[in-house]
Structure 1
Amino acid sequence: MAHVAEWKKEEVLELKGLIDKYDVVGIVDLLNIPAKQLQEMRRNLKDKAVIRMSKKNLIDLALEDCNASKNNIVDLSGHMDGQVAIIATEMNPFKLYKILEDSKTSAPAKPGTIAPEDIVVPAGDTGFEPGPFLGELQQVGIPAKIDKGKIVVQKDTVVVEAGEAVPKDVAATLSRLDINPMEVGIDLKAVYEDEAVYTSDLLAIDEEQTMADLQGAIRSAFNLSINAAIPTDETISSIITLAYTRAINVGVEAAILTSETSGPIIGLAQAKMLAIASAVADKAGAIDDELAEKLSNVAVAAAPVVEEVEEEEVEEEEEEEEVSEETAAAGLGALFG
C-alpha cells in the first residue's frame, strides 16, 4: 500500500471541515486570474464567503467523505474544470452567483487565450496619427485608412471568432487600441445546497424579466381571487365592492326598490320612456308638448354627456390599472421582505 503524505491527510480533513461548516458549497475556476486581482476579490468576499484552493483529487476525497452528511454533494466532483477551488458561504446560490459575476472585470487578450465570444474592433477613429500602425491594422485584417489626419477603422471587424485562440499579433493590436475583450473573475461552475447541485446556467437569471413575470403572476392571482370570490387580506375589499356593484345592478334590472336602487331605477325607467317617445315622436298627437321639450333637451345634451362618460371611463380604467400595479408591488414586498 502506497504511503500517503501526512500533509495530504491534513488537507483533506481541513477541506472536510470547511464543507461541513457551511450550508452552501461550490466549485469555482480561478484560471487566468492575476494574483493581484484574486487577492482583491478575496478581500471583497471577506465575511461573505471563504475560498480554499487545493488539488482536485484532495477535493474529491473531501467531497466523498462529506457525502454521508450532505447527500449528493459528491456530484460537485463532476464540475472541476480549470484551476479549481472550493467556495463556502451562507448566501443562497443565486446571490453568490450574482456577486461573483458582478466582481468580474475586463482584461487584455493574451496570446493563445481562447476568445469567449467574437472579438470585434469597432469602426471609427482610433486616435492614432498616420504611421506604421496603419500597416499593423491592415496586416491583421482590419480595414483602415487615413481620414482627417487620423487612422480610422472603416467598418466593424471580427478579428477573432468565439472559441478560437488569440494570435500574438492580434493581441498586440488590441492592446494598442485599448480593447480588453477578456473577462477576468471567479467563475462559479456549480454549487450545492439542500441535497441539490446547481450549475451556473441555472443560476444566471434575467432579474428584470423575472420581476416582470412575478408582477404579472401577482396581478393574475389578484384578479382570479376577486372573480372567484376567494377572500384574502389583499382582495377582500375589492371582492366586497364588486359584490355590492353586482347587487345594485341586479336590483336595478329587477326593479327591486331600495334606498340605493331607487334613483337608478327611476333613471332607467325615464330613459326607456324617452326612448319610446322618441320612436313615436313623428306621429301626430303621439306625445304632448312637455315630453317633446324633454326630447329636444336630451338631443342637445347627448353629445357632451357621451363625451363626459367616455372620459370618466378612461379615468376609471387608469385608476384600476394603478391599483393593480400597487397591489403587485405590495405582493413583491411580501415575497422578498
Structure 2
Amino acid sequence: MPTKKEKQESVSRVKKDLARYKTVAIATIASLPAKHYLSIKKQTRNDVKIEFARQTLLKRALEESGRLELKPLEGKFQNGAVIIVSDLDAFKLYALFKRSKSKTFAKPGAIAPSDIVVPAGETNLAPGPVLTELKQAKIDARIKGTKVTIAKDVTVAKKGEPISEPVAKILMKLGIEPFEIGIGILSVYDNGTIYEGAALDIDEEAFLHSLTEAHRAALNLCVFAEIWNETSAPLIIQKAAREANAIHKLIETKKPATEKMPAAEAAQVAAPAGTPAVEAVPATGVAPEAAADAAKEVKREGL
C-alpha cells in the first residue's frame, strides 16, 4: 500500500510530465504479462514515457495539470489504464505501439478479436489422438500419407465469441496465434484534437498506395486539362509534340501521288526545239513497211 507521501510524489511526477510533453495518451496494459510490459517499455523509452500508477492518482494528475484541453481524457480510463506522454504526433505514437505488439496463443474463454480460420492443407501433425481433438473442434481432417490434412477452410471462432477449450488446444498444436498482446492505445490528445485509438489504426502500405494513385490521377488530369505547373508542364509539351508528329504523319500518308505525264507529252517536252513531234505507234501488229510509209508521210507534211 503506497504511503501518502508516495502518492503525492506520483501525482507530482505525472503532472511535470504532462506539462513537459505535447502529446498525451490514455492506454491499457490489461492482460499484458509483466515481462512483455517491461520489454515494450524498454523498446519505446527513447520516444515515449509511460506513467504507471493507480487510476485515481493518474486522474488527479490530469485534473491538477492545468491543461484544460486534457479534461476529455479523464473519461477514457479503463481497466489497467496508464498515461503515455511524448512529443511524437498521435499517428506515430499509435504506430510505435502497434509495431511493438506480438502474437500469442488463444486461451479458453478468451474473446476472439476477429474470425479465426484454420486453413485447408497439410499440417505437421502425425496421425493419432489428435484426430479426435480435431473432431471435437469441428475441424474436418483426414490422414494423407504420414501427415494429417485439413480438408477445407473452417472458422473455429467468430469475432466476439469466446474460444472453447478444444479450439484453444488445437490452435496451439497447429501453431496458430490469433491474439496480439501489447499496450493498447485508447485515446490520444495531440495539438488540440482528441483521437480515438481506432481512428489512428492506419495501414501504412495501403495509405501510401492510395497517395501514389491519387498523385497519378491528379497529374493525369493536369496534363489532359492543360493545367500548367512545374510537374505537368514537361508532360504537356511532350504530349503536344507527339500529337503534332502524329498529325504530320497522317497528312503525309493521305497526300495524293503525283500524276504521270502521258508518253506523247513527255516526248514532245524532251525533243529539241524545231523537231516535229511524232506520235508513238504501237509496234504490235504493225508491218515494218507500213511504219516506214507513215514516217515518210509525216516528214513530207512537215516540210
**TM-score relative to the length of structure 2:** 0.71
Q: Retained in 2: the 8 A contact 1:137–1:143?
A: yes
Structure 2 counterpart of 1:47: 46
- Which secondary structure does the structure 2 equivalent of 1:130 belong to? coil
How far off its partner does 1:196 sit? 0.9
Q: Kindly tell me: are residues 147 and 228 of structure 1, through their superposed partners in 2, closer, same or farther at Cα, counting changes over 3 Å?
A: closer
Residue aligning to 1:203: 200
Residue 132 (structure 1) aligns with = 129
Quote the Cα distance in structure 2 between the aligned partners of 1:121 and 1:158: 6
Larger displacement relative to structure 2 (47-56 or 202-211): 202-211
Identify unmatched segments of 5+ residues in structure 2: 263-303
Which residue in the other structure is 1:168 paired with? 165
The corresponding residue for 1:182 is 179
Deviations 1:166-195 (A, max 9, x none): 223322222222221111111111111112
| 1:2-13 to 2 correspondences below 5 Å | 5-13=4-12
Q: Does 1:194 align with 2:191?
A: yes
Q: How many residues align?
A: 257
Residue pair 1:30, 1:85 contacting (<8 A) in 2 also: yes
With over 3 angstroms needed to count, the CA separation of the structure-2 counterparts of 1:169 and 1:206, relative to structure 1, is closer
Q: Which has the higher helix share?
A: 1
- 1:73–1:195 contact (8 Å) kept in structure 2: no
* Counterpart contact for 1:121–1:156, Cα < 8 Å: yes
Selected match of 1:81 from 73, 78, 94: 78
Once the two structures are TM-superposed, the CA of residue 27 in structure 1 deviates from its matched residue by: 1.2
Tell me the amino acid that sits aligned with residue 114 of structure 1: I
Corresponding residue SS for 2:64: helix
Tell me how far 1:5 sits from its aligned partner. Answer: 3.5
Match of 2:109 in 1: 112
The CA deviation string for residues 45-99 of structure 1, in whole angstroms up to 9 with x for no partner, is 1211111122222222222223x43x42121223222311111111111111112
Identify the residue that residue 23 of structure 1 maps to in structure 2: 22
CA apart distance, 1:147: 2.5
Aligned-CA RMSD value = 3.5
Q: CA deviation at 1:214?
A: 3.1
How far apart are 1:6 and its partner, in Å? 3.8
Q: Secondary structure at the match of 1:26?
A: strand
Q: Using the TM superposition, give the Cα deviation of residue 121 of structure 1 relative to its aligned residue in structure 2, in angstroms.
A: 2.2
Offset at residue 107 of structure 1 (A): 0.3
2:94 counterpart residue number: 97
Per-residue CA deviation, residues 122-180 of structure 1 (Å, 9 max, x unaligned), is: 22333232222211221222222333233332222222221122223322222222221
Letter in 2 for 1:289: M
Unpaired runs of 5+ in structure 1?
A: 250-263, 282-286, 291-337
Q: How does 1:247-266 map to 2 (within 5 A)?
A: none
Please give the per-residue CA displacement for 1:226-257, whole angstroms capped at 9, x wherever unaligned: 7566555x566668x58x97xxx8xxxxxxxx
Separation in 2, partners of 1:162, 1:238 = 50
Deviation for aligned residue 1:218? 4.0
